[in-house]
Chain A
């Protein structure tokens, strides 16, 4: 049984604008699944539907996480079951310091465990330890992304929902973030990754699917999709007339 099972969900905004049509997917323990697609395809809506951030959505279908039905469950319940979410805008607590942002994620954690977890995330993101007292909104884009990731990791998630982790980052910083994601995945955390940078996403994921206009139009192993001409043209910037 998959860690996350999404079965035929339909999500609509204001009950009129249908953003997802009959979307189904599964993520196994420790697996990385990439979701590709153009802007407006419904990728972020998919993550928000799973994370429980859309009131009374999805209106059809079912979502099961860790063997429990979480369809239309609130974000707090989904989070407590071990599903972490890092949104596109990172949603840092801007007036809190780096250390205080991390503290919020450590609620009710015994002191010794909390210290061990903090040590583990500081090993992944040493810069956060150096900037502990700095206000979150004064960090650089890359540091903010690292803080958002670290905060989610402190919840010890079994599954991480990541929305465009490379967005707005310099290529070198984006590569560094993906290196950390590779390490996180290597430690056994499953990742559902929404990413515009298809090259990077397919480099990290084992499987991938393509969303278009709210529908899954393509699904397969990352290896196969990297070789698919349609995907190459549409998402990798390869094979287009006049292209490389």
Chain B
């Protein structure tokens, strides 16, 4: 945190979260938890796609890596935080390996390479009973919570705290030299190189942090669901994260949070129909790309400016 206003903001978010936990029905908390968990992955995708300009369609692979490593570690008796840290780190390592082609590939070629990683992880899980738990799937041991605290409230609190930490972390990264270098590489990689910026390091850092966050999201998702099956980590998940970033706002932290709200709430609105979600995602993308390239975050910013101008008159 950089100044007192940051501390006040964080405390405000946590107090609001506590009030919501005390007053809101469980169904709301479940939905909010899912938004927080997804927001971690959307932050990761946005760091990679929005800030670093590296198009990845393989985020489901990192999500699955985090989820399955976490589930296996928890099954072996690892404490929650240790399993979470290790699962996220393994995903980050996978991110660095997948990021290596990004040193030579860009645009659609990189997208296809990352897509290949996502599909490989899915097929590896689907084809290995040892990794995925076979037909019955992989159960995740429940979380040990303080007595009297429900599972819903416990997970909600953990997801909220982790999202706050991740948001602060990503904000610090993008406003640090590393973040500037990442954006510089996106905007003009050769110019950045001729200023002495290490292109490989900048790109691989973006992949590592992005996949760390996505892996953490996968781990929390595993704890949230309590049971894993490979079908939860198909290409659809990768596409969903791309939709969340574009609709929420590229290279925007608030946009990542709004994008997560969008992709979590849309399916709940049309849960009875199979066409509703893809059509809404598609329309959302079209509308944003055509009329609001800065996404929901840009819309929010415009609204705030209008209100500020109105109040200053």
Which residues does A use to contact B, with CB under 8 Å? Answer: 51-53, 74-76, 78-80, 84-85, 87, 91-96, 100-101, 103-105, 107, 151-152, 155
Contact = CB atoms under 8 A, between A and B. Distances in A.
B254 to A, nearest CB: 16
- The range of chain B's interface size is 10 to 19
B177 A103 contact: yes
**Top 10 A-B pairs, shortest CB-CB distance:** A91-B191, A75-B193, A91-B188, A85-B194, A93-B187, A79-B196, A93-B184, A104-B184, A105-B195, A75-B194
A105 B184 CA distance: 10
A196 B184 CA distance: 28
A84 B194 contact: yes
Interface in B158-178: 177
Given A92-B191, A95-B187, 10 more contacts: A53-B194, A79-B193, A80-B196, A91-B188, A93-B184, A94-B187, A103-B180, A105-B195, A107-B196, A151-B195
Most chain A CB within a 10 A radius of its CB, from B187, B191, B198 = B191
Nearest to A53: B190
Nearest to A79: B196
Contacts of A74: 193
Given A93-B187, A96-B187, A104 B192 contact: yes
A104 B199 contact: no
B205 to A, nearest CB: 13
B187 to A, nearest CB: 4
A93 B196 contact: no
B193 A107 contact: no
B140 interface: no
Contacts of A151: 195
Nearest to A105: B195
Interface string B191-229: 111111111000000000000000000000000000000
Contacts of A104: 177, 180-181, 184, 192, 195, 197
B251 interface: yes
A95 B183 contact: yes
Contacts of A78: 194
Contacts of A80: 196
Contact of A100 (B180, B191, B196): B180
A151 B195 CA distance: 8
Nearest to B190: A53
Contacts of B192: 93, 104
B180 A76 contact: no
Given A76-B199, A103-B177, A107-B177, A93 B194 contact: no
A152 B251 contact: no
Contacts of A84: 194
Given A53-B190, A87-B191, A96 B184 contact: yes
B198 A93 contact: no
Interface in B23-73: none
Contacts of A93: 180, 183-184, 187-188, 191-192
Contacts of B180: 93, 96, 100, 103-104
A155 B190 contact: no
Nearest to A51: B194
Nearest to B188: A91
Contact of A76 (B177, B183, B187, B198): B198
B183 A107 contact: no
